[in-house]
Structure 1
């Protein structure tokens, strides 16, 4: 009788583990599909809008990406639709970063309006969530605000900038 009880418990645990694994695989696959779609949309928006940005030491028309956009969800958690773009910009000064960020935010909002793209809960569709320069490379994080994880990420970023 005891062996039968242990076998039933073991079988139940095995079934639970299989169901959990299948659920997790399907969830991760759906998340990957969503991230790839978001990356494609954000890439298109970024490529079109960065060309419009011009400040004394940076002309977006001449900006060359040093590598493909990287998802930053590995750092901030699953589901965050935020991507880092790196551009060769050896002459950009720190005091120009706010101007670049503001002009890019405006251009991204106009792009979203033209293409009828909406952000979650009335928020802007795209947010230039971070910008910095290091070793002659301009780094820009663009968030595609389509889910709660990204909204939470933006809230955390805003909160950390105020601290």
Structure 2
């Protein structure tokens, strides 16, 4: 009788934990998708700057971002973009400055909210080329996890 009660309690706890985990993962997925759409719209708005300077070629189709690796933890709103490199040599400092400036102008114009009034809502966290592709990582600082991610990356560089 006691064993049956213990087994029932263990099963109930396991079911609760499983359901809780599924609900949490679904909520994080919804928030991440919303943040990704906002960041994609901002990047789409500032992309002409890179095209005008021949740093990248005009994308053949609508570009898509990928979530930066989850090794940084759940809830980090950082996305990677890839574009074919254009004919001009890329000045990474200039590209980073231009993107940070224009992305945050876009955020101001569109009243995009940030986490605890951070200085910049969008931050280019990494920028590199590999196999004729320009890779750009952009963080949308909308929560504590992303703010900590940006701080950690700043410590590494």
What TM-score, normalized to structure 1? Answer: 0.87
Q: Give the CA deviation at 1:44.
A: 0.4
CA contact (8 A) 1:92 1:138 kept: no
Show the counterpart of 1:151: 147
93, 101, 110: which one pairs with 2:96? 101
Inter-partner Cα distance in structure 1 for 2:15 and 2:101: 48
2:79 is the alignment partner of 1:83? yes
Inter-partner Cα distance in structure 2 for 1:147 and 1:106: 20
TM-score by length of 2: 0.90
* Offset, 1:56: 5.4
Q: Are the counterparts in 2 of residues 90 and 135 from structure 1 also a CA contact under 8 Å?
A: no
**Counterparts in 2 of 1:150 and 1:92: CA distance versus 1, 3 Å:** farther
Secondary structure of the corresponding residue to residue 32 of structure 2: helix
Q: Which has the larger radius of gyration?
A: 1
Where do 5+ consecutive residues of structure 1 fail to align? none
The answer to whether residue 6 in structure 2 is matched with residue 9 in structure 1 is yes
Runs of 4+ in 1 over 6 A off after TM superposition: none
* Cα gap change, 1:133 to 1:55, in 2 (>3 Å): farther
Matches within 5 A, 1:16-95: 16-53=13-50, 57-58=54-55, 62-64=57-59, 68-91=64-87, 93=89
Deviation at 1:75, TM superposition (A): 3.4
Q: Deviations over 1:88-122 (max 9, x none)?
A: 0154546x011001000000010000001121011
| CA distance in 2 between partners of 1:113 and 1:65 (Å) | 29
Q: Which has the higher helix share?
A: 1
Change (3 A) 1:146 1:65: farther
Gaps of 5+ in 2: none
Higher strand share: 1
